[in-house]
C-alpha cells in the first residue's frame, strides 16, 4: 500500500472555505485503478493546517494517476479558484510506503 500526504497551510479565516472546496471535489481520482481512499485531515491543534491523504494499492498506481490527464485537469481547476490567495498555495507532499499493518 502507498499513502500520499499533501499538506497545506491556509489563512486561518479561510480553512472552512478550503474544506468546502474539498467536500465538493471532482472525484475524478475515485475511478482510478488502485485508488483506495481520500481523506481531508485538519490538524486539531493548528486548524489552518490541512492534509489531503490519498491511499493507493501501490506507488505504480499513484504514478499512473499523477501522470494522467485527469490529474492535470483537477490541478488546473485549482488555478480557477476565485480567491487567488488560495490558488497560489503550494502543498508539501510526503509519500509513504506501508511496511507493516
Q: Whole-angstrom Cα distance, residue 87 to residue 85? A: 6
> Which three three-digit cell numbers place residue 32?
482510478
Instruction: Tell me: pLDDT of 76 over 90.
Output: no
- Residue 74: how many CB atoms within 10 A of its CB? 16
Q: How far apart are CA 99 and CA 77, in angstroms?
A: 34
The string of pLDDT tens digits covering residues 3-56 is: 999 999 999 999 998 899 899 988 999 999 999 999 999 999 999 999 999 999
| Global confidence as pTM | 0.88
Q: Radius of gyration over alpha carbons of the chain, in Å? A: 14
Q: Which domains does the chain have, with CATH numbers?
A: 2-97 (3.30.70.100)
d(CA 91, CA 52) in angstroms, rounded, equals 9
Amino acid at each position: 500500500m502507498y499513502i500520499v500526504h499533501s499538506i497545506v497551510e491556509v489563512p486561518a479565516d479561510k480553512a472552512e472555505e478550503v474544506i468546502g472546496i474539498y467536500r465538493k471535489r471532482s472525484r475524478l481520482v475515485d475511478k482510478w485503478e488502485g485508488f483506495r481512499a481520500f481523506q481531508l485531515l485538519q490538524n486539531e491543534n493548528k486548524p489552518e493546517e490541512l492534509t489531503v491523504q490519498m491511499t493507493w494499492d501501490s506507488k505504480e498506481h499513484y504514478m499512473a494517476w499523477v501522470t494522467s490527464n485527469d490529474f492535470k485537469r483537477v490541478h488546473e481547476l485549482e488555478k480557477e479558484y476565485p480567491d487567488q490567495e488560495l490558488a497560489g498555495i503550494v502543498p508539501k507532499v510526503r509519500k509513504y510506503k506501508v511496511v507493516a499493518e
